[in-house]
């Protein structure tokens, strides 16, 4: 289940035919839906598309994915959605992630209310998504697409498998105010270097602190979950 980049886009389209017509009109024929595919005729690309009926659980899912930051107006629109689009494509590199930004923008222009990345559990308004841009830098992609979570023992990232890389976990003994910066800086380092998932232990230094890290298999999500990272996870511990 976690080998595809999957995005959820609810909308208030009356029926599938109205959606197709509006998409064609808004994109001036650049995009078309046929045979379960969204075709990008300008760039010669195709994405899998699935159109489903109203989902009563979607409102709550978007509330948590947006961390409650959606306006009441946006939340009410999500609640009143009539159709749900699931758009999916290949993942595993920054380039593959960038390729799906434009088609999602077009679907939002064609009546999509919001978008949720199933692989990181993060949601965006159309305005937030449009701010990403097709030529986003690595740090912009990282800050935009990756979410951060916590359990009883760790702070951890979620979604790095979209780039073909491990996630990171940091002991909750670390200062909570510093945890986000440590994790994001570490992820940027491995993303920029294109490091793999080989078994290793090394160290990472930031602002005078040294963090020892080693690679482990992921243990925060069920294996068949979109959130599960098959590339594993780097576990950081601050050296005392």
| pLDDT attached to residue 198 | 46
Distance CA 130, CA 106 (A): 10
pTM: 0.90
3-class DSSP state of 153: coil
Q: For residues 15 and 71, is the Cβ–Cβ distance under 8 A? A: no
Give pLDDT tens digits for 205-228.
887 788 888 898 867 777 668 999
Give pLDDT tens digits for 55-67.
999 999 999 999 9
Give pLDDT tens digits for 46-56.
999 999 999 99
Segments of the chain assigned E as strands:
4-11, 31-34, 37-40, 45-53, 83-90, 115-117, 122-124, 147-150, 154-158, 167-171, 201-206, 209-216, 233-238
- The DSSP code sequence of 19-39 is HHHHHHHHTTTSEEEETTEEE
194 pLDDT band (50/70/90 cuts)?
low
Q: What is the mean pLDDT of residues 113-117?
A: 98
196 pLDDT band (50/70/90 cuts)?
very low
| pLDDT attached to residue 32 | 95
Asked whether residue 1 carries a pLDDT value surpassing 70, the answer given is no
């Amino acid at each position: 289940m976690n080998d595809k980049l999957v995005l959820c886009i609810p909308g208030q389209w009356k029926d599938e035919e109205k959606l197709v017509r509006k998409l064609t009109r808004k994109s001036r024929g650049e995009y078309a839906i046929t045979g379960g595919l969204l075709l990008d005729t300008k760039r010669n690309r195709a994405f899998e598309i699935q159109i489903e009926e109203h989902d009563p659980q979607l409102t709550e899912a978007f509330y948590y994915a947006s961390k409650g930051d959606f306006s009441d107006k946006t939340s009410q629109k999500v609640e009143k959605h009539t159709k749900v689009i699931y758009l999916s494509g290949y993942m595993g590199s920054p380039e593959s992630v960038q390729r799906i930004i434009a088609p999602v923008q077009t679907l939002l222009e064609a009546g999509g209310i919001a978008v949720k990345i199933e692989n990181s559990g993060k949601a965006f308004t159309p305005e937030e998504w449009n701010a990403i841009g097709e030529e986003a830098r690595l740090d912009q992609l990282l800050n935009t697409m990756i979410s951060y979570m916590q359990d009883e023992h760790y702070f951890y990232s979620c979604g790095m498998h979209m780039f073909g890389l491990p996630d990171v976990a940091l002991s909750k003994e670390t200062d909570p105010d510093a945890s986000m910066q440590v994790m994001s800086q570490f992820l940027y380092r491995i993303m920029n270097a294109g490091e793999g998932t080989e078994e290793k232990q090394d160290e990472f230094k930031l602002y005078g602190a040294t963090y020892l890290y080693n690679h482990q298999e992921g243990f925060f999500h069920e294996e068949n979950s979109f959130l599960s990272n098959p590339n594993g996870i780097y576990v950081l511990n601050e050296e005392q």
